Structure 1
Amino acid sequence: MEFGILMGDQPVASSAREHLDLMLRKAEAAQRAGFTYLTIGQHFLYDGFRWFQPVPLLARLAAELDDHVKIGTTVLIGPVHHPVVLGEELATLDVVTGGRLVVGLGTGYLPQEYATMGVPFDQRYRLLEELIEVMTAMWSQDRVSHHGRFWQIDDLPTHVHPLQQPRPPVWLGAMRETGVRRAARHGDVWTITPQQTIDQVDALIRTYAAERTSRGLPLNPLPLRRELMIGDGFDDAVARFAAVARGKYEAYAGRGMTLLGDDEVRNFGDTVRDHVILGDAETCRTQIADIAAALPVGPLLVRPHWPGMDAEQTEAYLEQVGREIVAPLRDLESRSFADFLETPAA
Structure 2
Amino acid sequence: MSVGVLFTQGQVTGEPRTTLAEILEQAEAADRLGFSAALTTEHKDSDEYFGAPLHLAFAIAARTQRVRVGTAIAIAPLYAPAVLAQDAAILDQLSGGRAWLGLGAGYMPVDYTAAGVPWEDRAQRFDETVRIVRAAHTQERFSFDDQLHHFEDLAVLPRPLQPEGVPLHLAAWTPGGLRRAGRLGDGWITNALMSLDTMTTMAADYRAAAEAAGRRPHVTSIRFCWPYTSREEALELFGDTALAMARTLFDYGAVTDLPGVTSADQITLEEFVRDRFVFGTPEECVETIGRFRDQAGVDDFLMIFRYPTGPDHRSVLRAMELFGTEVLPALDRPAVPA
TM-score normalised over the length of structure 1: 0.87
Question: What is the aligned partner in structure 1 of residue 30 from structure 2?
Answer: 30
In structure 1, stretches of 5+ residues that fail to align are 334-346
- State the Cα distance separating 1:52 from its structure 2 match: 5.2
Output the CA distance in 2 between the equivalents of 1:267 and 1:212.
34
Quick one: which of 242, 247, 257 aligns to 1:245? Answer: 242
Deviations 1:119-157 (A, max 9, x none): 221211111110111111111222221111111112234
Q: Structure 1 pair 325/51, CA: closer, same or farther in 2 (3 Å)?
A: same
Question: What is the aligned partner in structure 2 of residue 319 from structure 1?
Answer: 321
Output the CA distance in 1 between the equivalents of 2:92 and 2:276.
33
Query: What secondary structure does 2:332 align onto?
Result: coil
Output the CA distance in 2 between the equivalents of 1:50 and 1:267.
23
Question: What is the aligned partner in structure 1 of residue 227 from structure 2?
Answer: 230
Are the counterparts in 2 of residues 30 and 318 from structure 1 also a CA contact under 8 Å? Answer: yes
Comparing 294-303 with 55-64, which one deviates more in the overlay? 294-303
- State the Cα distance separating 1:331 from its structure 2 match: 3.4
Deviations 1:104-129 (A, max 9, x none): 00011110221232322121111111
Are the counterparts in 2 of residues 130 and 148 from structure 1 also a CA contact under 8 Å? Answer: yes
Output the CA distance in 2 between the equivalents of 1:285 and 1:158.
43
Output the CA distance in 2 between the equivalents of 1:257 and 1:196.
9
Query: What secondary structure does 2:86 align onto?
Result: helix
Q: Structure 1 pair 49/227, CA: closer, same or farther in 2 (3 Å)?
A: closer
- Structure 1 position 75 matched with structure 2 position 77: no
Query: What secondary structure does 1:71 align onto?
Result: strand
The alignment of Structure 1 onto Structure 2 pairs a total of residues equal to 330
- What percent identity do the matched residue pairs reach? 27
TM-score normalised over the length of structure 2: 0.89
In structure 2, stretches of 5+ residues that fail to align are none
Output the CA distance in 2 between the equivalents of 1:98 and 1:8.
25
- Structure 1 position 108 matched with structure 2 position 106: yes
Question: What is the aligned partner in structure 1 of residue 84 from structure 2?
Answer: 86
Are the counterparts in 1 of residues 72 and 103 from structure 2 also a CA contact under 8 Å? Answer: yes
Question: Where does 1:164-313 land on structure 2 (aligned, <5 Å)?
Answer: 164-219=162-217, 221-231=218-228, 240-259=237-256, 263-272=263-272, 273-309=274-310, 310-313=312-315
Are the counterparts in 1 of residues 41 and 74 from structure 2 also a CA contact under 8 Å? Answer: yes
- State the Cα distance separating 1:263 from its structure 2 match: 3.7
Cα RMSD, aligned residues only: 2.3
Output the CA distance in 2 between the equivalents of 1:332 and 1:174.
31
Are the counterparts in 2 of residues 237 and 280 from structure 1 also a CA contact under 8 Å? Answer: no
- State the Cα distance separating 1:235 from its structure 2 match: 8.0
- State the Cα distance separating 1:258 from its structure 2 match: 5.0
- State the Cα distance separating 1:291 from its structure 2 match: 2.5
- State the Cα distance separating 1:253 from its structure 2 match: 3.5
